[in-house]
Structure 1
Amino acid sequence: MPFVNVKLTAGATAAQKEELIAGITDLLVRVLNKNPASTHVVIEDIAPENWGIRGQTVAALRAAGDPGVSKG
């Protein structure tokens, strides 16, 4: 029974999350021949102020306009 945990900074839409879940499940079925009925995908939204990169929070980097940090 595969269990995939995806952590994202908050901002993805419900439709985007549904597409991720379907795509991850399809990939596991296609590549590893896993049963989709027992494949679990969990998406965790992490607030940008709770995620750090290069010694700073994503919120601070976005506020500073850092082009290396995506908006979502």
Structure 2
Amino acid sequence: MPFVHIELVVGRTVEQKINLVKEVTEAVVKNTGAPSEKVHVILNEMQPENYALNGELLSQK
């Protein structure tokens, strides 16, 4: 039973997230042979002030 965890900064629409989890599930099924009903995709959305890149919070940009 594959689990896929995806960390995103907030801002995607529900439609974008629907498409993302569908395509990720399809990729896992294709590459592992796991049935789609056993593929778990977990989206964690972060606030820009809780994520840094290159030593700078995204909220600072």
5+ residue gaps in structure 1?
62-72
Q: Indicate the structure with greater strand content.
A: 2
Normalising by structure 1, report the TM-score: 0.81
Between the aligned partners of 1:13 and 1:37, the Cα distance in structure 2 is 24
SS of 2:37's partner is helix
Larger radius of gyration: 1
Normalising by structure 2, report the TM-score: 0.95
1:59, distance to aligned residue in structure 2 (A): 1.0
5+ residue gaps in structure 2?
none
Identity, in percent, stands at: 30
Alignment of 1:34-49 (within 5 A): 34-49=34-49
